[in-house]
Amino acid sequence: MEDYLILAIGAGTAAAFLIVALIFVALRPKRSTRMHVGIPETVLLFRNGEVVDHTPDAAELFNRTILTGMGWDEVREALSPGFPALPADLPISQMIWASPNVPHAELIAEPSANRLHLRLRCTPDGAANLFRSRCQTDEHNRLVELSRNAPDALWHTDTNGNLLWNNDAYEELCRDAGKTPEDSSPIDLKLPTTRVERTTRVSVKPDGHPQRWYEVVSRPVSDGWMHYATSIDSLVNAEMAQRNFVQTLTKTFAHLPIGLAVFDRDRQLVLFNPALVDLTHLPVDFLSAKPNLLSFFDHMRENRMMPEPKNYASWRDKLYDVVSAAREDRYCETWNLPSGLTYKITGRPHPDGAVAFLIEDISAEISLTRRFRSELELTQSVLDCFEDAVAVFSRLGVLTFSNAAYRAQWDCDPDSAFAEITIVDATKDWQQACDASPIWPDLREFVLTLRDRQSIGADLVLKTGEPMRCALCSRWPPVRHLSGSPPLQLFPDVINWSKKNIAL
């Protein structure tokens, strides 16, 4: 009987405990079925389109201490790198976005009346990845500051040219062009057809401001292109100034009869004038193509506008020695061409390693010099045929000509003398070889007087007893310098010494 009583009491106690457990389970608050045990969440609470509350870790997500009052545009801008499909307006229905860039990350929007719960959920990816991301945070922030504050415009586009990211300098460039970053690119830039780096020079014309020039370097990246725009206004202005200067020089040298060829430091022809075309007979299109120094002289040789060297191969090797000599301002040659023309080639140094060659046709000058030299030799031959001693003095009293009889009579050679022989020097020698006579001062005055004079003469006796006759004449037959030019009085004063038998 007691055993049945004990069993009854135990059964009643067990039933009471079971009832209490069921009541506890029924009364326990229900947890959301969306919660995943062990998965951290960052939650933002919106009310009327603005953030009113958030979890503590949300401050790190937006890199700011106060999130209250943030609108959907600011939140969307911060989350768009991981969730590019976020709508431009605040969600009005429950939505879930999976991140294409961050594995195991999703964003959940739960609207309710004028409220919105925005949950960012990310499955832990291991201690190693978490530690590495923490260590790279400082470097990431540093790179962000460097790129955003860079003085050059930087922007990232996809393969279709759509803007993905830009820095502050790019936004300033857009403002100068009268556009916004959301509009089309302020620079008319065509993407390369191949995945290779390309450099493009472009310009932007702001309203009311001078045109601005940029050099854009486009480099392929995994998801599109990175573009780097550097301002080159100073470089373009320098190139335009140089171009204008070259044009000015070209106009200045266009009417010169001397051919001009200027080669830069790379030995490329950068400037020439029309006279060079006339003198070298080189085609204009060839010179306009900026040939190098070797090609320039090769074409001159083919046109027979330079003397044929004995060994042209070795001459080409020595051509750089010619350039070095020209850079030191010591290159000057005279070319006697097969056509009979004579060219004078002069090398002159220019700044920045450039060198200029001047080609001058001196055929007329050489011909005149040769003709004048021939006339002088003819005159000398005529004077040497005289038996009497003849000496010719210039207006300044300098001995310019003498014949063989004079040099034999007075035992002198004016051509081999170190200094010029004047009438004073000559009369001293004559006076020492002759007896006393009053003719010597008159003779010196006759030669050094510039006005017209009458011919004079005197009979002299050498100290050897030989009589001589000295005649002075200020009229010598004129010689024409050039055909059609007026007569040129070359020999104004002539002193003629002739032997004469004088009764002593």
- What's the rounded Cα separation, in Å, for the pair 17 and 163? 67
Write down the pLDDT at residue 45. 92
**pLDDT above 80 for 226:** yes
Q: What is the DSSP string of 80-149?
A: TTT-TT--SS---S-EEEE-SSSTTEEEEEEEETTEEEEEEEE----HHHHHHHHHTHHHHHHHHHHHHT
Single-letter code of the amino acid located at 150: A
Write down the pLDDT at residue 175. 81
Q: Which residue has the higher pLDDT, 131 or 421?
A: 421
Paired sense of beta strands 41-47 and 95-98, if any: unpaired
pLDDT mean over 169-173: 85
Q: Exposed, middle or buried: residue 364 (CB in 10 Å: 0-12, 13-18, 19+)?
A: exposed
Give the residue among 181, 190, 145, 144 at the shortest CA–CA distance from 163: 181
pLDDT mean over 172-187: 74
**pLDDT above 50 for 438:** yes
pLDDT, one tens digit per residue, over 447-463 is: 888 777 777 888 888 88
**pLDDT above 80 for 489:** no
- What's the rounded Cα separation, in Å, for the pair 199 and 375? 69
Q: Are 45 and 54 in contact (CB under 8 A)?
A: yes
pLDDT mean over 125-137: 69
Give the residue among 360, 333, 329, 352 at the shortest CA–CA distance from 267: 352
Paired tokens of 47:
């009310």
pLDDT band at 46, cuts 50/70/90? very high
Give the residue among 465, 470, 466 at the shortest CA–CA distance from 495: 470
**pLDDT above 80 for 26:** no
CA distances, 34 to each of 20, 51, 86, 252, 291 (Å):
29, 22, 21, 86, 78
Single-letter code of the amino acid located at 92: I
pLDDT, one tens digit per residue, over 192-212 is: 778 888 888 888 877 777 888
229, β-bridge pairs: 153, 216
Write down the pLDDT at residue 499. 62
Residue ranges of domains in the chain, CATH in brackets: 41-128 (3.30.450.20), 137-231 (3.30.450.20), 253-361 (3.30.450.20), 379-499 (3.30.450.20)
- What's the rounded Cα separation, in Å, for the pair 245 and 45? 68
Write down the pLDDT at residue 480. 32
pLDDT band at 392, cuts 50/70/90? confident
pLDDT band at 476, cuts 50/70/90? very low
Write down the pLDDT at residue 3. 43
Top-ranked range on mean pLDDT: pick from 274-283, 301-310, 314-323: 274-283
Tokens 């995945």 correspond to what residue?
195
Write down the pLDDT at residue 205. 79
- What's the rounded Cα separation, in Å, for the pair 344 and 358? 8
pLDDT band at 110, cuts 50/70/90? very high
Percent of the chain with pLDDT over 70: 81
**pLDDT above 70 for 48:** yes
pLDDT mean over 219-232: 89
What does the chain come to in residues?
504
**pLDDT above 60 for 27:** no
Report angle CA 422, 425, 426 to the nearest 5 degrees: 85
- What's the rounded Cα separation, in Å, for the pair 491 and 401? 8
3-state SS class at 25: helix
Q: Are 268 and 274 in contact (CB under 8 A)?
A: no
pLDDT, one tens digit per residue, over 258-271 is: 898 988 888 899 88
Neighbour order of strands in the sheet with 399-402: 399-402, 389-393, 493-499, 467-473, 456-461
Write down the pLDDT at residue 299. 87
Top-ranked range on mean pLDDT: pick from 25-39, 54-68, 471-485: 54-68
pLDDT mean over 348-367: 84
Paired tokens of 431:
């006076």
pLDDT, one tens digit per residue, over 294-306 is: 888 888 888 888 8
Q: What is the DSSP string of 382-422?
A: HHHT-SSEEEEE-TTSBEEEE-HHHHHHHT--GGG-SSPPB
Q: Quick one: CA dihedral 365, 369, 370, 375, positive or negative? A: positive
pLDDT band at 63, cuts 50/70/90? confident
Write down the pLDDT at residue 6. 41
Q: Which residue has the higher pLDDT, 82 or 478?
A: 82
pLDDT, one tens digit per residue, over 91-105 is: 888 999 988 877 778
**pLDDT above 70 for 17:** no
